[in-house]
Structure 1
Amino acid sequence: MNILKGVGVALITPFNEDLSVDFDSLTKLINYNIENGTNYLVVLGTTGEAATLTTDEKSAVISHIIKINNKRLPMVLGIGGNNTMDVKHQIENTDLSAFEAVLSVSPYYNKPNQEGIYQHYKMLASTGKNIIIYNVPGRTGQNIEASTTLRLAKDFPNLVMIKEAAPNILQYFDILRQKNSAFNLVSGDDEFTLPVTLAGGNGVISVIGQAYPKEFSTMVQLALDKKVDEAYKIHNSLVEITRLIFAEGNPCGVKTILAEKGLIKNYLRLPLVKASEGLQEKIKAEMLKFS
């Protein structure tokens, strides 16, 4: 799946003041990313507040993104949950012709053990669709251990990649060191992107990347080209703003930046709320370094 290499952006869902989906802003955001170096688009992930969208809204967002993208970039669609059979049913009954793969988060809340996680992804693999495993213990409450990821990669060729977002970077390195060549890893943590890419990863599925696509995609391409010093210069310039956007949860921070850039209006759906005034001021101050 080398087509999914570089910077994939986990698109936010812009809202109007009445909290309806703001399709005009979504158009601007897609074009902004395409024109500034983003490599692929990730649709209806956590960053897109997918949990707060109705089924009809999800369909409308998908259709709009397909139309505006117009086959310019590869795309990935988020379909996940903690009911294995329901996730399998959704994958089987969704038109995936516009997408390279499905990004599917490890089951949350239920807290399955490693064998339960293995059996969950085995069931999703039975659909025959390309699946990207998504490990984000901070949201799911359960880590996919490196040994489980490697076992899944070995047993099911259509489990093509993992978006790894464990807080322990050594887990990334263990997977990269032992995986087969057909299985890829991307960082699910923006701040780990550079070291993980230099260690053999395929880049990142990013949040900050949609706000600074030119800078972030340049950094990742430099890393893929093993131009380490130049890549770290960009990395170091982005560390503070990257930390700030996650200080009160995601996507309130990146929505602050995108609103300040005039790409969207700064609204979120409950239970999420916009960043506090204090955090917004810190983000705006840091943004001045990029102007």
Structure 2
Amino acid sequence: MSNLKGVGVALVTPFHEDLSVDFDSLTKLVEYNIENGTNYLVVLGTTAEAATLSTDEKEQVVDHIIKVNNGRLPLVLGIGGNNTMEVKKQIEETDLSAFEAVLSVSPYYNKPNQEGLYQHYKVLAGTGKKIIIYNVPSRTGQNIEASTTLRLAKEFPNFILIKEAAPNILQYFDILRLKPEHFNLVSGDDEFTLPVTLAGGAGVISVIGQGYPKEFSTMVQLAFDGKVKEAYVIHNKLVKITRLIFAEGNPGGIKTVLAEKGIIKNYLRLPLIPASSGLQEQIKAAMKAI
């Protein structure tokens, strides 16, 4: 089994006003999460606005997080795309010695069928690296069905987890019920974290978790300990802010939270823009209530 358990956070990339990478704020963000109970860090995921970073910037961000983390928490690196052979090449050519696993999103835009999705991941399995499958139909336009996930998990032991973000929670439960021993599931939807963990999941790869690491990691640990009522107290306290941060897309909402906490500045790269002033006011009010 993987030691990626609990709360992993998909780190944002902080920017200066001129939209260059703000490495000082990135240091603060990593330290804040390590100090407050986050279990592992996910680098260059969707939340990091990785699609808008140059190759050089990606390397600098990766090197910086490795250096600041200094071996304290396990790290996961996002490497995905819709050109199977290019993704395979990137996984093979990247120095993964500092990373526990690769998080690889299912191919977007091309909309492969289930057999195409299976063949894509089969090629990635051939790299021999530990891989987390990432299913997020709202972004990719195509769902990896539970049967396809289970087929991959049973055939290839280097698939260790799925980050599942299908809108249908029954799909999570089917995978948890039928998965092989070495494989597990983490929620890719912050609001599903608690029920999915209680059903046997390994926690979450979270967005809100980097803004509220202490609360979120405590909630997940309570779920692991079977303390359901206590866990739901925290869940219910965070539901409103969790919904608000996704109201206009990610990471505009979480960057508002982190900026309000004084950890980063609130800048995004086009085509994404900061949360509207109305939403920012709602987020600040919800933060005060917490």
Q: What amino acid is aligned across from residue 144 of structure 2 in structure 1?
A: I
Superposition CA RMSD, Å? 0.4
Distance 1:210 1:143 in 2: 26
Distance 1:44 1:2 in 2: 20
1:150 match: 150
1:20 match: 20
1:132 match: 132
Q: Provide runs of 4+ in structure 1 moved above 2 Å.
A: none
Distance 1:112 1:2 in 2: 28
Secondary structure, aligned partner of 1:223: helix
2:37 match: 37
Equivalent residue runs for 1:182-261 within 5 Å: 182-261=182-261
Q: What amino acid is aligned across from residue 117 of structure 2 in structure 1?
A: I
Q: What amino acid is aligned across from residue 271 of structure 1 in structure 2?
A: P
Contact 2:7–2:205 (Cα < 8 Å) also in 1: yes
Matching of residue 66 in structure 1 with residue 66 in structure 2:
yes
1:49: Cα distance to partner? 0.2
Distance 1:289 1:90 in 2: 44
Tell me the TM-score normalised to structure 2 length. Answer: 1.00
Distance 1:264 1:249 in 2: 18
1:53 match: 53
1:124-177 Cα shifts (integer Å, max 9, x gaps): 000000000000000000000000000000000001110000000000000000
1:289: Cα distance to partner? 1.6
Q: Which runs of 5+ in 1 are unaligned?
A: none
Distance 1:286 1:185 in 2: 30
Q: What amino acid is aligned across from residue 285 of structure 2 in structure 1?
A: A
1:2: Cα distance to partner? 3.5
1:123 match: 123
Number of aligned pairs?
290
What percentage of aligned pairs have identical amino acids? 82
Q: What amino acid is aligned across from residue 212 of structure 2 in structure 1?
A: Y
Distance 1:22 1:101 in 2: 26
Equivalent residue runs for 1:159-198 within 5 Å: 159-198=159-198
Distance 1:192 1:224 in 2: 15
Q: What amino acid is aligned across from residue 29 of structure 1 in structure 2?
A: L
Q: Which runs of 5+ in 2 are unaligned?
A: none
1:46: Cα distance to partner? 0.1
Distance 2:241 2:181 in 1: 34
